[in-house]
Every structure is written in C-alpha cells, then in structure tokens.
Structure 1
C-alpha cells in the first residue's frame, strides 16, 4: 500500500488529472472533495472511450433505444467530459487498513480493479494498486540469491509447498 496518496478535486479539468498521472507515473487518482471526502476515482480506463481519439461508443438508434436514454447520455458525457467529475468512476470500491491481503486481491481480481483506496473511517489513508502486489512478490524472489541446496533438498521443498495447497497434481509423487 502506498501511503503517499496523490488526489485531485472533482472540479479540476481532466487535463490536470492527465498531467498529474503522467508526472507521478500512476494509473489512477482518488477524487476528493473540499472536505477530503472520497467521491470517486479517475483511472487510465476512464480515458479508453474518448471522442478526441475516436474511440467513443458508436451505436445505432435501436441499440441506443434498448440501452436507454440515461445510459447513452451518461456515456456521452464521460466520452466528452472536460472535468474530472464528468469522467471519474463514482462510489469506488474501498477497503480498510485491517483487510486481509487475500481479500483485497480477491476483490481486485473479481471486479477487475487496478486501484483500491484504503480508508480509515471516512478518510483515505492509502491506496493499493496491482503494482503493490508485484512489488510484494518481487521482494522475496529477488532477495534470494539462487538456490544452493542439493536436488533432494529442492525436491523436498517443492513437495512441502505442494502439500500445503488445496489441489494436488496427479501422479506427481
């Protein structure tokens, strides 16, 4: 989790959000109001469908009718919005500081999320991103200088690790 959370206001122009994201090499920004309450999140995915680059939705009248005017209007604003509040994802999924890491990973995987703001009561105190998981895995892997034990020791270590998993390869032993 990163405790150095960069955020943006909903009334800010999207160009400011883009500049901040590029300058800080981050792919998402929590959106907070003047009282520092979390009101949304703006991510790279919010810029996939944009009129400036010709990727906005193109629908025929029948499909637009089936989707409903509210959804079509909402997509129109998101694809052409100039303020963060017009483009951001409202009511982002959040977690708290005590949430087990496996639950956070489960939510991120199930909901296809790249960022989850970490809350303490109603205040954002951090953000967990997929790159945090990458760093967490890299630590133990890159800290090891290579395996220097015998083949039998390695085999025992692998078998011990496999014994702790809920699945077992058939005919492995």
Structure 2
C-alpha cells in the first residue's frame, strides 16, 4: 500500500496567523492532536500539536540570562523559548523541522519515518503541496487488513475497504478515529466504538452503497462515558 491509500485526505489545516485560542478550540471539537500549517497555495509550513499548546500553558517565567550567557550568545535559546511559550499565533509555536513523504511512498517507508523520528503523524505531499496525513493509527489499520498480491478477491476486499473509509471521512456524523472497517470476502465488519443506533444504521447504508459489498456486520462496543458525544 502507498501513502495515498493510507492517508487522511484533505486534512484540516490552519494558516500561520491563526490565533492559538482558535486552534485549541478546533482540536478539542474535532478530537485531533495535530494540525498542518499551510500557506495560501497549500505549501506545508509546519505542524502545530497539542504538545505545543501544552508547552505554552505549562511554561514558567523565564529566568534572566546571566551576563556571561549574554556575552556568548546563550540568551538566543532563551529568546526562542520565550517566543514559543508566550506567542499568541500558530507561527510562534509550530514545529518547522518536519519529516514528510510523497504520496507514492510505501507503507514501509512511512512506518520507518514514524518510528525513527518518534512522531505520531507524517504529512503527505504531492508536487510540493499537502494532500494528506498518515498517522500511526492509519498504519495499524493497514497491518490488520493486509492485501495479498496476486489475489483478485483480496484485492477487491482492499478496494471495498478503501472506499468505505473514504466515504466515512466525508461524513460529519462518524469518525474513523473511533470506528474502523474490516473486509473479508465482500463482508464489511465494523469495529471500535459506536455511540448510537442511528449511526449504526447510517453506516450500514453507507457500506451497502459500495459496489461489491455482500453483507454488513457490526462488532462494535458502546462508547464509554468519557467518549460520550463521539459518533
């Protein structure tokens, strides 16, 4: 599988001048931990994460640089920290040292970057512009449903699963963060947490609308208390 098969396409992004208060609200509402930062032409500038926001919240008063530190330039590090912990816009706190992949990168290449860089997500680029993001969860789902080469039936299952995921990502009432499909012999089974019978019924309709689906099953669990309100 390639990055384009795994990624969350057209992810939520923010411009660099976005106020941090707005970013915090967006992350909380969408239950996401990181947002790509792009310019007006879709070029990736950085990523702002919940860790960046927590760092600002937990920052202590900076200690004044000593006279000796000022002489040798050590106060530059303190100035950078001050900007990151006191800034009010995304450009002040975002991470700019990024690892990225092209959309034709293999799943193995993506996994290696996530592991070696110890990061949770990697932006996917095409012609220099952001087209998606691959997270560790995306890779885990791919590992759980491998598609054997040369098998037409399994390849068909892989196509069905990708189409189901794509349709789910287009809906506001369900999240692939908490519900994920598996496909075997044309049978779609949903796993994870579901908050209501209405969402279950809508997912059944969604899956049955995919060509090749023979049956839809649910092996989900009710959403625990701390996830109330999540479809």
TM-score (norm 2): 0.54
C-alpha distance in 1 between matches for 2:32 and 2:130? 17
* 2:82 is aligned with 1:92: no
Partner residue of 1:121? 127
Deviation (angstroms), 1:139: 4.2
Q: How many residues were matched structurally?
A: 141
1:41 aligns with 2:47: yes
Residue 69 in 1 paired to residue 51 in 2?
no
Q: CA deviation at 1:47?
A: 2.2
Task: Find the aligned partners of 2:95 and 2:104 in 1 and give their Cα distance.
Answer: 24
Task: Return closer, same or farther for 1:144/1:8 CA change in 2, 3 Å cut-off.
Answer: closer
SS in structure 2 opposite 1:89? coil
CA distance change for structure 1 residues 58 and 36 in 2, over 3 Å: closer, same or farther?
Answer: same
Cα-Cα RMSD = 2.7
Which has more strand, going by share of residues? 2
The alpha-carbon deviation at position 143 of structure 1 amounts to 4.9
Using CA pairs under 8 Å that are at least 6 residues apart, name the structure with larger relative contact order, 1 or 2: 1
Against the structure 1 CA distance between its residues 82 and 56, is the aligned structure 2 distance closer, same or farther, given a 3 Å change threshold?
same
Residue 161 of structure 2 corresponds to which residue in structure 1?
Answer: none
- Are 2:122 and 1:108 aligned? no
In the alignment, is residue 80 of structure 1 matched against residue 86 of structure 2?
yes
Q: Rate the CA distance shift 1:6–1:110 in 2: closer, same or farther, 3 A.
A: same
What residue is the counterpart of 2:213 in the other structure?
A: none
The answer to whether the aligner puts 1:13 opposite 2:19 as a matched pair is yes
Structure 1 Cα separation of the partners of residues 19 and 140 of structure 2: 31
Contact 1:39/1:91 (CA < 8 Å) preserved in 2?
A: no
CA distance in 2, matches of 1:121, 1:13: 29
Q: How does 1:18-29 map to 2 (within 5 A)?
A: 18-29=24-35
Kept after mapping to 2: 8 A contact 1:27/1:44? yes
**SS in structure 2 opposite 1:49?**
helix
TM-score, normalisation: structure 1: 0.70
1:10-51 Cα distance to aligned partner (Å, 9 max, x none):
00101111112222221111101122211111112212322x
Q: How far off its partner does 1:138 sit?
A: 4.2
Q: Is the 8 A contact 1:96 1:118 kept in 2?
A: yes
Query: In the TM superposition, what is the alpha-carbon distance from 1:67 to its structure 2 partner?
Result: 8.1
SS in 1 for 2:36: strand
Q: What residue ranges of structure 1 are gaps of 5+ in the alignment? A: 146-173
Distance 1:10 1:114 in 2: 21
1:164 matched to which residue of 2? none
